[in-house]
Amino acid sequence: MEMDADLRSVAAARAAADKAFAAYQKFLGTDPAHINAIVDAMARAIEPEAKRLGEMAVEETGYGNVPDKRVKNLFNALSVAEWLRDVTTLGVLWRDDATKICAIGEPMGVVAALVPVTNPTSTIIFKVLSAVKAGNAIVCAPHPRGVQCGVETVRIMADVAEQMGAPKGLIQCLDQVTIQGTGELMRHRRISVVMATGGPAMVRAAYSSGKPTLAVGAGNVPCYVHASKKDELGDVAEQIVTSKAFDYGTACVSEQAVIADQAIARELRHELKLHGAYFMAPMEANRLAKVIFNGPQAMNPDRVGQSPQTLADLAEFSIPPNTRCLVSEESQIGWQRPLSAEKLNPVLAFYEARDEDQGIELSHGIAKFEGWGHSSVIHSNDPDTVARFATVPTGRVLVNTPAIMGGMGYSTDLEPSFMLGTGTWSGSITSDNVTALSLINIKRVAYESRPWRDIYQEYGE
């Protein structure tokens, strides 16, 4: 009798976890220099395949566009891999002769990596490189709409790793995926840690798995443009539009709402239009909101990562052919105005603030509505204003840079990552950019540094 899809997925998850654990046991003790060589080889193997994998991702998921998918893949194969070369994850991490303490990095074990449909290949590249650099095995669980491109990405990397001497099964991808199967993978006794990137339901399931979990939350990223940028608004507008339009808005770290000081708002609108932003009429924005959302906290998955032209057609209004993103003028924050929420497509909200105080207040409101803990952006030449803005409850405060390039660590010196923690603001264990250093256990070797008997003299009666 043929098993149903859930049973096949559960069986595949169990088999993959057991196989990964056996491979991990063989991989334990591998010379870190050899591991570095394996990581480098996997990254090099991805580079010539970056465009093809992007094409597969767009074709299978229907999200985003090929040129930007290619850039995402290359960022992980080049920038992340380059950063990993200079990082020590295994063996002696540091030693302090004065305190007689030495820190030693050891692998966690088998990583269960949940992969989002919005970034089905680039996330796998990032997680595989990071997990193996940390000496772990990894089993990727792609979204059901991104299985084929995920399997192919893992195949490329696993084949190269095995050619370099890594045990077979160290790097795997489930090719039969259901919610039940992914749940079984996370809960499996051989899994040591879960890396969860995806929608709220996936993140909740990961935290409910009973395993240590690195997970991320939604990002409703405010972008405050201060009056001190009045002579640079063309550059600011280019950054905002480029970042929001990137891969048709599939990145949760991209700008979601622009808040402009009244003194420069008119000119910023003009510059945004010159760089491809279309400011919608109120009725157009209302129709678009019904296209993007099925209701409060219910983003329509079929509208994620679609081009501005597709979204405008669905909302039945016309836009210029060079439009890169759609903009809705807003004055309220909350589900009574859905476009003030996170939008995983090339759509921005635009607020005009009467002064700096209101600009920062609106930025706080946006971040706290659907975006606690993720990221925020400020364009300002005034350090005092930046310091005031930095009270926004987000794990990253990005200054004078596009949100996506800054948040993922390309245009800033944040750790390059495709997994951005959101902290306890949104129920995440970390607010850091997750890296291979998040996937090791750190053992401290501590010598006696003061006579132990002194405790009785110091604290005795």
Residues with a catalytic annotation lie at: 252
End-to-end CA distance of the chain: 76
Burial grade of 335 (CB within 10 A; 0-12, 13-18, 19 or more): middle
Closest CA to 345 of 327, 331, 318: 327
What residues are paired with 194 via a beta bridge? 112, 213
Q: Are 317 and 226 in contact (CB under 8 A)?
A: no
Kindly report the number of other CB atoms within 10 A of residue 234's CB atom. 15
Q: Which two tokens stand for residue 78?
A: 């080049």
Q: Which two tokens stand for residue 136?
A: 């772990």
**Angle (nearest 5°) at CA 375 between 186 and 254:** 90
At 420, the amino acid letter reads L
d(CA 141, CA 147): 8
Burial grade of 259 (CB within 10 A; 0-12, 13-18, 19 or more): buried
Sign of CA dihedral 415, 419, 420, 425: negative
d(CA 120, CA 249): 15
